[in-house]
């Protein structure tokens, strides 16, 4: 298969190409926004080209050149706060560009794989399945909802994967997730405040990658909510559990409430997913946050994080 992967330097893009089940069979052309050192992409990726989404004609040329069977659109502005503060650029990156790729996929007969988000839900009616009403509380979620609606109108082949908050080893230059944000702070003995009133079932990025490859190889199309194996954990419990698996001191963590972080964009309170479809249709049982932290220790993607002690 020939695959175009946008967002190859991001967390989920990285795990997707690192978990390529057969490099001889699946040729992946990755793109990023900025230029990154080529050696980073040695595992599972044939090339990573820095092409900003703003350069649509560059993407049209690339599509002509590689004629992909599958387009995996893992690039986005994934920061809820950044999109809230910069709605115009957020709208282009997270709405207009994905619809351009969706239209190109339809025209060319490629499978389009898109990433939605748990931010499409209001956080007051968990657990959320693929059929739950979407009622976002911030601009990022609104743009994801609008994109989902438009992609569903396409007569081409599409998959909307909808991950809940994901964690794993981002590249050092990339956006951190709660595990890679707080682990170095725990190691450095810094005080950390984590909320006890935001609930999710976080998913290990390696599981997201395995699920995507399974969807693609099995011919799955449609929507899929993707979460981890816990029925629900608070940020506070999650990071404590992860810290204990990593063997670091978690006593610097104290409890907080979402109201303590008023400067941030509004967040839905409880977006736990109902993953019956993931388990039933795909036959996939995702890891819990403790199992996922253990998988991070073993997945071989650990960066050399300056200041990390205890063999991590
Ligand atoms: N991670 C999560 O917890 C989570 C949860 C729910 C949904 N999602 C969705 O899943 C998808 C992947 O998320 P992620 O967390 O893996 O992303 P990420 O780590 O934030 O990485 C973003 C990627 O997009 C690229 N990018 C950003 N702006 C671009 C632009 N203007 N032109 C071209 N490329 C651009 C970045 O390239 P550079 O590295 O060069 O900047 C990077 O490769 C996104 O759609 C996100 O909204 C993620």
CA of 275 to the centre of ligand 1 (A): 23
CA of 273 to the centre of ligand 1 (A): 21
- Does some domain include residue 273? no
Q: Is the CB of 77 under 6 A from ligand 1?
A: yes
Question: Does the CA dihedral 83-88-89-95 come out positive or negative?
Answer: positive
- Does some domain include residue 131? yes
Q: What is the pLDDT of residue 203?
A: 98
- Does some domain include residue 149? yes
Q: What is the pLDDT of residue 304?
A: 56
> Mean pLDDT, 10 residues at a time, over the chain (312 residues)?
97 96 94 89 85 98 98 97 96 98 98 98 98 98 98 98 97 93 94 96 98 98 98 98 96 94 88 98 98 95 54 38
Helices (H), the chain: 11-18, 56-66, 80-85, 87-91, 97-108, 139-152, 178-187, 205-218, 235-246, 276-280, 289-298
Q: What is the pLDDT of residue 249?
A: 95
Residues 143/90, Cβ–Cβ less than 8 Å: yes
- Does some domain include residue 277? no
Q: Model pTM?
A: 0.97
Tell me which residue has tokens 């387009």: 71
- Does some domain include residue 264? no
Q: Is the CB of 166 under 6 A from ligand 1?
A: yes
Q: What is the pLDDT of residue 303?
A: 72
H helix count then E strand count, the chain? 11, 13
Supply the CATH number for residue 60's domain: 3.40.50.720
User: Based on the structure, what is the number of domains in the chain?
Assistant: 1
- Domain, as residue range, for 96: 2-167+202-226
- Does some domain include residue 288? no
Q: Is the CB of 268 under 6 A from ligand 1?
A: no
- Does some domain include residue 245? no
Q: What is the pLDDT of residue 12?
A: 98
- Does some domain include residue 289? no
Q: Is the CB of 12 under 6 A from ligand 1?
A: yes
Q: Is the CB of 32 under 6 A from ligand 1?
A: yes
């Amino acid at each position: 298969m020939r695959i175009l992967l946008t967002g190859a330097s991001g967390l989920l893009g990285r795990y997707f190409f690192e978990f390529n089940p057969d490099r001889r069979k699946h040729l992946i052309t990755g793109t990023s926004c900025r230029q990154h050192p080529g050696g980073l992409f040695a595992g599972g990726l044939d090339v990573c080209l820095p092409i900003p989404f703003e350069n649509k004609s560059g993407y049209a040329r690339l599509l002509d050149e590689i004629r992909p069977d599958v387009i995996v659109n893992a690039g986005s502005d994934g920061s809820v706060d950044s999109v809230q503060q910069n709605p115009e650029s957020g709208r282009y990156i997270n709405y207009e560009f994905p619809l351009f790729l969706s239209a190109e996929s339809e025209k060319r007969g490629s499978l389009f794989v898109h990433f939605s988000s748990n931010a499409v839900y209001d956080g007051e009616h968990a657990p959320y399945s693929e059929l739950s009403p979407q009622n976002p509380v911030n601009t990022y979620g609104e743009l994801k909802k609008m994109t989902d609606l438009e992609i569903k109108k396409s007569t081409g082949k599409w998959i909307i994967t909808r991950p809940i908050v994901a964690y794993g080893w981002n590249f050092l230059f990339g956006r951190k997730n709660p595990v890679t944000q707080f682990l170095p702070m725990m190691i450095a003995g810094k005080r950390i405040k984590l909320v006890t009133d935001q609930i999710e079932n976080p998913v290990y990025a390696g599981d997201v990658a395995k699920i995507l490859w399974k969807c693609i190889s099995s011919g799955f199309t449609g929507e899929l909510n993707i979460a981890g194996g816990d029925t629900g954990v608070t940020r506070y419990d999650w990071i404590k559990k992860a810290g204990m698996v990593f063997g670091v001191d978690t006593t610097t963590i104290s409890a907080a409430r979402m109201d303590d972080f008023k400067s941030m964009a509004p967040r839905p309170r409880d977006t736990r997913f109902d993953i019956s479809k993931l388990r039933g249709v795909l036959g996939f049982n995702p890891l819990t946050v403790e199992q996922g932290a253990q998988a991070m220790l073993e997945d071989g993607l650990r960066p050399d994080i300056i200041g990390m002690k205890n063999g991590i």
